[in-house]
Amino acid sequence: MRLQRQFTGQKITLDTSNLIASGGEGRIFPVVEDSSLVAKVYHKPTEEDADKLTVMYNNPPQTLTVMPGVTAIAWPVDLLCTPDNNRKIVGFLMPSVTRSLPIHTFYTPKTRRERKPLFNYLYLHRTARNLVASVTDLHASGYVIGDVNESNILVSDTALVTLVDTDSFQVRDRQTQLVYRCPVGKAEFTPPELQGQTFRDRDRTPEQDRFGIAVLIFQLLMEGTHPFSGVYQASGDPPAIEARIKAGHFVYGNSRVPYKPMPLAPSFEILHPKLQDLFLRCFQEGHTNPKVRPDARTWLLALIEAEENLVTCDKYSQHRYDRHLSSCPWCERTSKLGGRDPFPSREDVQQGLHLKPLKPKRKRRSPGRSLMPTPSPIQPPATVRQAVSAPASSYRPRQQTRSRGLSPQIQSLILNLMQGAIIGGIWGIACSSAIMAIVFGFFRGTGGILGGMFVGTIWGAFFGVSISMFLPPPRGLNRWKAFIVGSFCGAMIAAAISGILFGALTGEIVVGQTLLWGAFLGLIWGAIWSVFKPPLSLPTPGGVRGWVGALSGSVWGALLGSLTGAVLAMGAVLWGEWQLQMSLTLTLKLMSQMFLMATVAGGLGALGGILSGATFGSIGGVPPLPLSMKRVGAKGAIVGGIWGNFLGVIAGAVLGAISAALFPEVFSNTSGEALPLFLGAMVISAGVGGVWGTISGIVWGALGQL
């Protein structure tokens, strides 16, 4: 099956002969070109699916990976569309998750004993800890899982957790406030207030996720026991699990319920006291008041403390238990189960004895030659957020240490700033050099520069047409568009090169000053552009309001104010020249006057437009931004120009105000009074920033750098 990536345009092949999984919504296939990705293709794709996936793609949670190659949340990395001209969205790409199993494999004693026998109580604590760490990030980003269940959470040998089936999450579009609901759920993990409800008709809340997550934590630490399972003590047939949840019959709570704990279930007292309190808060107090259910962050802190309080049994190093207990509960449980050790020793696993029932009184075996091939040693449990010291014992899983340096988020921010500043600096030098070359070439008649631009135009047109032959629409341009774009790009590149060479050969000071100013402006622009991204969302009918509307209004106001002010100012200059000379001749002096007046008027109009747009936008008086899933080419240029103008105006006004305060002599031509000087600097700098941001945003947006 051949499909096309929506945002990169790359065509990919799905290995349909090697089906990974199939469900009610779609099927998952490997990607032939990239083994690190898999594709989910819907049986019946809808426009709502496409809109929801686009919102998810544009607003990922903060932490999707916990370390290189390890995915915490299998988030969409691109959308998949048909390769024809219709480009219908039919699915999405997500990271491939390997060497992981569903979480129930680890908390169910039978499957853990058969498949992961060395996964002890420390690993189960670490699994719960990594689970709530991912949920913390997810909730902080405004998402709700909705369908919490034991099949949508995968766990690795080192207790790393990956949340999958993310396209079923409840998603809220931050721009339009439209909610894409989670239409499914599993009764065992559904809170009482949702039991018997139609999920498609209900907005989910983080408090409802907290219930399902608490059930999973309980099962992890209580040998797969469900918190609402027990032996029914009343007459009649035992109620179903959903009826018990709805009634609030938490078997291990302080209230009287018609159940007793399951006979083979571990004692509730084996849990760390803080964990016991949190379960009571969630299942007992939270039955009628969901707000009191502990959030994921609270669980994370309690699980860290509980893990740190685990001690090792004196007899069996695989047995870990809380230090508040006077004896090892797992030794007692082994006897209760007829010799079946829930956490068998490495020697038992090597000899296959963990799969056979043992005598109640087993003797300690001395290490000897294995009767079975030695299994691969289990890796130490890894942590998502924070590493802790392992308890002292003969078996020491090596802990992953946490760097004392900057957090990954800060490191990523600094890296993006540096990368944006470097690229912006190069861009600034190229732009200033090209502008200088055009001025010298056309207004001073420098033949070398004009000749270079002519040759660049020819070569640009040639390359543009050549590329269009190998990259036709919809991924590329048609030949006429490619000819025009290639000619323009070739001329600008040649102008930039010619400007630098002209400056180097003539040694004029103004050339060096222009390049330095261009580098400075480009550096500032690149850094700002790398940090502040447009609020991407598909356009929807109607307007937006609130803070989202205020932001949209500010962006629209900056653009319309800049254009209106610049056009009126240039018109006024041309009208004045016509009144004086009764003719119009475009000289360098006249163009300089037009640019200066357009800059000042554009800056003034942009600042006024931002204030007006923010006011009208907050009450729903502006439309959403014309944003699109295709963020390259012409659509990318439109979005980039609009957003770049806004960023340029804001950044220019701020820099102008700072410059006026620190270096007032720079604006000495204005009035000597402090307030006019300050405002004049803001207006002029906002105008320059608006021009720079618009041009740069158009180019960068067309290249897909949104």
CB neighbour class for 400 (10 Å; exposed up to 12, middle 13-18, buried from 19)? middle
Burial 20-47 (b: 16+ CB within 10 A, else e): eeeeebbbbbbbeeeeebbbbbbeebee
Q: Which helix (H) or strand (E) holds 510?
A: helix 509-531
Query: What is each CA distance from 275 to 128, 222, 385, 555, in whole angstroms?
Result: 12, 12, 19, 49
Specify burial of residue 392 (Cβ count, 10 A radius: 0-12, 13-18, 19+): exposed
Q: Tokens 């309980």 label which residue?
A: 218
How many angstroms separate the Cα of 254 from the Cα of each of 247, 517, 597, 625? 15, 72, 78, 55
DSSP secondary structure letters along 403-440: PSS--HHHHHHHHHHHHHHHHHHHHHHHHHHHHHHHHH
Question: CA 255 to CA 511: how far, in whole Å?
Answer: 83
Q: What angle do CA 386, 387, 391 make, to 5 degrees?
A: 140
Report yes or no: 304 and 132 within 8 Å, Cβ to Cβ.
Answer: no
Single out the catalytic residue among 49, 78, 137, 147.
147
Cα separation, 17 vs 3, whole angstroms: 16
Q: The dihedral of CA 245, 250, 255, 260: what is its sign?
A: positive
> Which one-letter DSSP state was computed for residue 107?
H
Q: At what angle do helices 588-618 and 633-662 cross, to 10 degrees?
A: 100
Q: Are 162 and 131 a contacting pair, CB within 8 Å?
A: no
What is residue 364's DSSP assignment?
Answer: P
For residue 163, the cross-strand partners are: 73, 153
C-alpha to C-alpha distances, 409 to 62, 400, 415, 684, nearest whole angstrom: 8, 19, 10, 35
C-alpha–C-alpha distance, residues 413 and 45, integer Å: 36
Active-site residue flag, 147: yes
Are 317 and 122 in contact, with CB atoms under 8 Å apart? no
For residue 348, what are its two tokens? 């038992």
Residue 38, strand partner residues: 30, 94
Nearest alpha-carbon partner for 594 in 511, 696, 687, 471:
687
What is the CA 166 to chain-centroid distance, rounded?
Answer: 13
Which stretches of 291-393 are assigned E, i.e. beta strand? Answer: 310-312, 320-322
- The DSSP annotation for 184-248 comes to ---GGG--GGGTT--GGGS---HHHHHHHHHHHHHHHHTTT--TT--EE-SSSSPPPHHHHHHHT
> Reduced to 3 states, what is the DSSP secondary structure of residue 28?
strand
In which element (H, E) is residue 40 found? strand 37-42
Tokens representing residue 159 in the block: 């207790």
- Residues serving a catalytic function are 147
